[in-house]
Structure 1
């Protein structure tokens, strides 16, 4: 009978705890999703803040849920705080990586080296930023591969943001044969660039003879365009200049060596 009097309250508390956990988990997810949706709907607030704020709310609700569950088993919040206070050093050492990720996440939000939707390279890993939450940064590569990077690692790495500025410079090099007319080739490239509306007129297209290589005369090209047009413009210029060279009698030489024999 004594066993039953102990077991029944424990079973009741366990059932209550399970219900509280389910409700808390649902509320945490629903509330964080609502906050993220509201922030994303507001054009005056950066989308990056939405994911970060939603992440903070979710974990706070889960923490409150955990405290409520512990109280069902007779563990008071004040006692829990006292225990955590006594074990602060041990917890800090055990969770130093997690705590550094949280701190790094706050720094990333404050200084904003990248935002959701921008294409970046973090420590040599490239992708489009899909989410920045309290613990990790999520990237998606061009072939739709998900990359999860701890915020501490992201904050401590070299960050290259290809989308930070509205326009970019496209650098190309075209090699022509030593027997071709360099001025004619330069004019062909300029005409091709000026015919494309994506190429900015200010700064104007720049084409110069930049190198006398082993097998070719190299023409350097610098074009300014909107950041979103960078790759399509690059592919278009490579194809269009090749076709224009063919039509104009300008050859793109293969790497080769010339052997000269001297008579003795």
Structure 2
């Protein structure tokens, strides 16, 4: 019995050492990755997106080295691993083709940078703010703070709309007025409110024109340029201000309504 137990002692000892190496390696990989991310993100000349991606890459390289060390504890040498991996290349490639595609796509996303951390984007029909980009996935947060995980392969292989890609954006607003109202007066009100708002840029200058004669309204379109960060606030503010100004100036905004016609019997 003692001889049988003694035979298992080396295996138990190796398993204990392997567990310790795994735990220490996991902690070291996480901390080194965090240091790399912090150092890069604290460098103003380098985009934070690169910091997150580099930290992810460093972490997984260290974990791969830890795995090799653990296998070495059990007597499996690196040269043997190379031979085994070489013989199983096809099987591994087929099994991990999705993961490998995500890694390759991650490098392409970092190289061409269609979006970066903090950008508001639409990827594969899902909109959100980019929170992280690592070796495997892109993490988005929707406006109501729901976490969305998009594999890099899907992100790179679909249409990407980056609403934060440029410093300025154009706000398009359409206001309908009654056919009996003064069009020039309404245009003047909209233009005045636009120029009074400090978020509206002077170049390109605000544009206000009659663009459509609808079934029940004359449609006036306003095109205003602003900083990308001010887009929604300017849009909401102008919508409310124009409505209030139209009410004060007795300019009506038509809305669908029903007319009852009674015929004498």
Task: Give the TM-score, by structure 2 length.
Answer: 0.96
Q: Which residue of 2 aligns with 1:142?
A: 143
Residue 117 of structure 1: how far off its partner (Å): 0.6
1:129 counterpart SS class: strand
> Distance in 2 between the 1:242 and 1:5 partners?
88
2:66 counterpart SS class: helix
Residue 4 of structure 1: how far off its partner (Å): 2.1
> Distance in 2 between the 1:41 and 1:93 partners?
40
CA contact (8 A) 1:194 1:205 kept: yes
Superimposed CA distance per residue, residues 198-236 of structure 1 (whole angstroms, 9 cap, x where no aligned partner): 101111111110011111110011000000000000000
CA contact (8 A) 1:36 1:50 kept: yes
Q: Does 1:31 align with 2:32?
A: yes
Residue 32 of structure 1: how far off its partner (Å): 0.1
Q: Which residue of 2 aligns with 1:240?
A: 241
Q: Which residue of 2 aligns with 1:108?
A: 109
Q: 1:148 to 1:115 in 2, by over 3 A?
A: same
2:174 counterpart SS class: strand
Q: Which residue of 1 aligns with 2:57?
A: 56
Q: Does 1:45 align with 2:43?
A: no
> Distance in 2 between the 1:259 and 1:100 partners?
64
Residue 247 of structure 1: how far off its partner (Å): 0.7
CA contact (8 A) 1:128 1:141 kept: yes
1:209 counterpart SS class: strand
Residue 17 of structure 1: how far off its partner (Å): 0.4
> Distance in 2 between the 1:255 and 1:177 partners?
12
Structure 1's unaligned 5+ residue stretches are none
CA contact (8 A) 1:168 1:230 kept: yes
Residue 258 of structure 1: how far off its partner (Å): 7.4
Question: Once superposed, which parts of structure 1, at least 4 consecutive aligned residues long, lie more than 4 Å away?
Answer: 256-260
CA contact (8 A) 1:28 1:57 kept: yes
Residue 123 of structure 1: how far off its partner (Å): 1.4
Q: Does 1:12 align with 2:13?
A: yes
- Superposition RMSD in Å: 1.4
> Distance in 2 between the 1:131 and 1:43 partners?
18
Structure 2's unaligned 5+ residue stretches are none
Q: Which residue of 1 aligns with 2:189?
A: 188
CA contact (8 A) 1:119 1:128 kept: yes
> Distance in 2 between the 1:104 and 1:129 partners?
16
> Distance in 2 between the 1:19 and 1:106 partners?
32
> Distance in 2 between the 1:2 and 1:83 partners?
34
Residue 3 of structure 1: how far off its partner (Å): 1.7
Superimposed CA distance per residue, residues 2-54 of structure 1 (whole angstroms, 9 cap, x where no aligned partner): 42232000010011001000100000000000100111111010000001000
